[in-house]
Amino acid sequence: MRPTDHAYVPREALDVLTARTLENSHRCLLEVLEPGMTVLDVGCGPGTLTMGIARRVDPGSVVGMDLNPEMIAAAEQASPPGQIPNLVFYKGDIRQSGWQAEFDLANAARVLQWIPDAETALRAMARAVRAGGQVVVLDYEHTRAEWSRPPGAWTRFYRAFLEWRKAGGLDNGIIGRVPEMCAAAGLVDIRVTPLVETVRAGDADFLRVAGAWRLVVDSRGRQMVAAGHLDEDERLAAVEAFTRWMQTGEATQTIHEACVVARRPTESRP
Ligand SMILES: C[S@@+](CC[C@H](N)C(=O)[O-])C[C@H]1O[C@@H](n2cnc3c(N)ncnc32)[C@H](O)[C@@H]1O
């Protein structure tokens, strides 16, 4: 995996991932986890959410997997092999995984947005769960993100972000297609929970949630410059403008995500 690959998580973005908890970033998964479940966490990144899953399903077991060896190294540094007995990590591509009906639940949080052939990934997740098992996908609707009175440099950056993603074959509205992808993979009982998160300057979570987008400029922004979707001056202008914007009293950010939960039928193989 190369640092210029869209799916590569640059070092500068790690803090965004390690600041997440199931409580602040994936509540809909919390609602379906139960002690004793076996769970596959696809695209586990540095394993922060995966460790939360392992605590929640104990004594059930959890496998965290990620395409990027640097993410698996970070996950194993946070949770060395054997330290949490019901948790293991491994490097792999979900599209090439051979799991067959091994898990009660397969989860992918903010992962399909980085996979051009997300259908293949979703089908592999559907195969990985047993009959009656669940597939959970949390992801973005990037085209609907909004910032109050955004500075011009930020608007330019975000437009370039969407274009860079699109040029890499990535779907900026991926979560809208996940229900039909679930149906095509043979899953049933497809439930969609729209998640709209608005934070305002002064909110307890504002710096973490809005600050994550500042880190996107620091991380993805460099990939966008390398790919020619932005020049370095525009990137620096976006960092500066967004930092100033965050300090204005009326700053408000709204991000659209949704969580899709579906089930493998009791009597079929997707
Ligand atoms: C934005 S991070 C999400 C990490 C974590 N799930 C979270 O919600 O914080 C997306 C992760 O998906 C991984 N990824 C991308 N494509 C993948 C694939 N085909 N198979 C497995 N992991 C993949 C990336 O390496 C990255 O670590």
Whether 111 is in the pocket of ligand 1, judged by its Cβ within 6 Å, is yes
Report the domain count for the chain.
Answer: 1
Q: Is 4 domain-assigned?
A: no
Q: Is 2 domain-assigned?
A: no
Residues with Cβ within 8 Å of 159's Cβ and at least 6 positions away in sequence, in order, are none
pLDDT at 269: 52
Coil, helix or strand for 79? coil
pLDDT at 4: 79
Each residue's pLDDT, cut to its tens digit, for the chain (270 residues) gives 777 788 777 677 777 788 889 998 999 999 999 999 999 999 999 999 999 999 999 999 999 999 999 999 999 999 998 899 999 999 999 999 999 999 999 999 999 999 999 999 999 999 999 999 999 999 999 999 999 999 999 999 999 999 999 999 999 999 999 999 999 999 999 999 999 999 999 998 899 899 999 999 988 999 999 999 999 999 999 999 999 999 998 999 999 999 999 999 997 555
Q: Is 170 domain-assigned?
A: yes
Compute, in angstroms, the gap from residue 152 CA to the centroid of ligand 1.
Answer: 30
Separation of alpha carbons 165 and 229, rounded Å: 10
Whether 20 is in the pocket of ligand 1, judged by its Cβ within 6 Å, is yes
What is the position in ligand 1's atom list of the atom closest to the CA of 26? 8
Whether 109 is in the pocket of ligand 1, judged by its Cβ within 6 Å, is yes
Residues with Cβ within 8 Å of 73's Cβ and at least 6 positions away in sequence, in order, are none
CB 137 within 8 A of CB 122: yes
What is the position in ligand 1's atom list of the atom closest to the CA of 108? 6
Separation of alpha carbons 119 and 122, rounded Å: 5
Q: Is 39 domain-assigned?
A: yes
Residue from 135, 49, 43, 124 nearest 91 by CA? 43
Cα angle for residues 177, 142, 171 (degrees, 5° grid): 45
Coil, helix or strand for 3? coil
Q: Which residues of 214-230 are buried (b: 16+ CB within 10 A; e: fewer)?
A: bbbbbbbbbbbbeeebb
Q: What is the residue type of 156?
A: R
Q: pTM of this prediction?
A: 0.94
Q: Is 268 domain-assigned?
A: no
Cα angle for residues 224, 226, 231 (degrees, 5° grid): 70
Q: Which residue matches tokens 């959970």?
A: 136
Whether 257 is in the pocket of ligand 1, judged by its Cβ within 6 Å, is no
pLDDT at 268: 54
What residues form DSSP beta bridges with 30?
Answer: none
Give the sign of the dihedral formed by CA 137, CA 113, CA 144, CA 13: positive
Give the sign of the dihedral formed by CA 173, CA 103, CA 120, CA 94: positive
Q: Is 147 domain-assigned?
A: yes
Q: Which of 1, 51, 66 to mutate to test the pocket of ligand 1 (most atoms within 8 A of CB)?
A: 66
Q: Is 153 domain-assigned?
A: yes
Supply the CATH number for residue 119's domain. Answer: 3.40.50.150
Domain range for residue 55?
Answer: 11-263
Q: Is 105 domain-assigned?
A: yes
pLDDT at 131: 97
Whether 216 is in the pocket of ligand 1, judged by its Cβ within 6 Å, is no
Q: Which two three-digit tokens encode residue 170?
A: 């990535």
Residue from 149, 128, 140 nearest 41 by CA? 128
